[in-house]
């Protein structure tokens, strides 16, 4: 498979075969705190072509309104309704795990307004209320790791029926200072490994890419917005991560495009088990 110069050029010849596009944010539309080269022009072109697009993000630390504001500060005009977060998967998780109306403990935060509360879940971050909770939800941002992680580990050991729900399944994310920051998925895997060492087997409910809940929620919203069914193979997802974007898109039935402006370098994708349908050097 050859690497194509830009998605912008490719789109001009392949628009009829697409019903919608799905973009990752970091490493594709955004590079750090600034817009990626050509991102603003591409979004403007999509509006003129009337080609629907959605943005998929594992960032459950910001509400879609907060995320849209962050994009706007970088010069990318995106409606909040076009953004699907891993936090949206809490709607289905609440139904699946019977969490609607139940009190659940949250490590960190899950957006403002909270995705958990929007899903009908009652939330607390008070350790004193942890014994009364139905489940533990792993969020992001600053919190007392030692007290909260120890508290949740002991809660899960003592309550084998309690689920651990993880909207953002990523191990880490890049910070403004170009340093790696441990993400909710990393915290969850620490909790799982400690519980396993103690003898408590735990299968977290992951909601973000590459897992299906975020794709399922996004596709439902896309079809609702268009007022018709959308064939999955007529949706193309553009991302920079083989393990997250490409694997998730392929698993859900979307076509996948790898953009070499973020997490994956030129050539490193060739031996991967997660083979994209297309590879672009840039947008």
3-state SS string for 190-218: HHHHHHHHHCCCCCCEECCCCCHHHHHHH
pLDDT over threshold 90, residue 241: no
pLDDT value of residue 218: 95
pLDDT value of residue 44: 95
- The most confident of the ranges 2-6, 170-174, 224-228, 261-265 is 224-228
Which is nearest to 85 in space by CA: 103, 58, 65? 58
pLDDT over threshold 90, residue 29: yes
pLDDT over threshold 90, residue 31: no
pLDDT value of residue 283: 92
Stretch among 91-105, 168-182, 227-241 having the lowest mean pLDDT? 168-182
pLDDT over threshold 70, residue 178: no
- What is the fold, at CATH topology level, of the domain defined by 4-58+212-282? Rossmann fold (3.40.50)
> What are the residues facing 156 on neighbouring strands?
none
Q: Mean pLDDT score of the chain, rounded to an integer?
A: 92
Region class of 51: left (phi > 0), else alpha (psi between -120 and 50), else beta: beta
Q: What is the architecture of the domain spanning 88-206? A: 3-Layer(aba) Sandwich (3.40)
Structure tokens at 246: 């490409």
Portions of the chain given CATH number 3.40.50.1000: 4-58+212-282, 88-206
pLDDT value of residue 177: 60
Q: What gap in Å lies between CA 283 and CA 157, rounded to an integer?
A: 47
Higher pLDDT, 61 or 264: 61
pLDDT over threshold 90, residue 188: yes
pLDDT value of residue 20: 98
pLDDT value of residue 16: 94
pLDDT over threshold 80, residue 93: yes
The answer to whether the bond into 113 is cis (omega within 30° of 0) is yes
Band (pLDDT 50/70/90 cuts) for residue 269 is: low
pLDDT over threshold 80, residue 246: yes
Q: Are 170 and 184 in contact (CB under 8 A)?
A: yes
pLDDT over threshold 90, residue 185: yes
Q: What is the mean pLDDT of residues 190-213?
A: 96
pLDDT value of residue 263: 72
H/E run at residue 282: strand 278-282
Q: Which long-range contacts (CB under 8 A, 24 or more apart) does 221-228 make?
A: 221/54, 221/84, 222/20, 222/52, 222/54, 225/52, 225/81, 226/19, 226/20, 226/52
pLDDT over threshold 90, residue 174: no
Q: What gap in Å lies between CA 273 and CA 258, rounded to an integer?
A: 13
Q: What gap in Å lies between CA 133 and CA 98, rounded to an integer?
A: 13
């Amino acid at each position: 498979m050859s690497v194509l110069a830009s998605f912008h050029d490719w789109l001009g010849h392949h628009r009829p075969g697409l019903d919608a596009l799905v973009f990752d944010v970091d490493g594709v539309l955004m590079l750090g705190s600034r817009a990626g080269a050509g991102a603003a022009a591409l979004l403007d072109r999509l509006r003129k072509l009337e080609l629907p697009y959605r943005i998929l993000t594992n960032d459950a630390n910001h509400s879609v309104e907060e995320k849209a504001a962050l994009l706007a500060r970088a010069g990318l005009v995106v409606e909040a309704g076009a953004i699907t977060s891993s936090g949206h998967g809490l709607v289905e998780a609440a139904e699946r795990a019977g969490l609607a109306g139940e009190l659940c403990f949250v490590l960190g935060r899950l957006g403002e307004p909270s995705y958990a509360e929007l899903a009908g879940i009652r939330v607390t971050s008070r350790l004193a209320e942890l014994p009364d909770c139905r489940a533990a939800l792993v969020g992001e941002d600053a919190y007392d790791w030692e007290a909260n992680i120890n508290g949740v580990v002991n809660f899960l050991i003592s309550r084998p029926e309690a689920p651990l729900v993880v909207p953002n399944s990523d191990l880490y994310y890049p910070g403004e200072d170009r340093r790696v920051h441990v993400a909710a998925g990393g915290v969850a895997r620490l909790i799982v490994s400690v519980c396993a060492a103690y003898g408590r087997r735990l299968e977290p409910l992951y909601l973000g890419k590459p897992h299906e809940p975020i794709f399922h929620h996004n596709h439902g919203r896309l079809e609702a917005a268009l007022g018709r069914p959308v064939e999955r193979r007529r949706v193309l997802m553009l991302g920079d991560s083989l393990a997250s974007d490409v694997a998730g898109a392929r698993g859900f039935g979307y076509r996948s495009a790898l953009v070499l402006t973020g997490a994956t370098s030129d050539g490193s994708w060739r031996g991967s088990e997660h083979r994209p349908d297309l590879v672009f050097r840039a947008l």
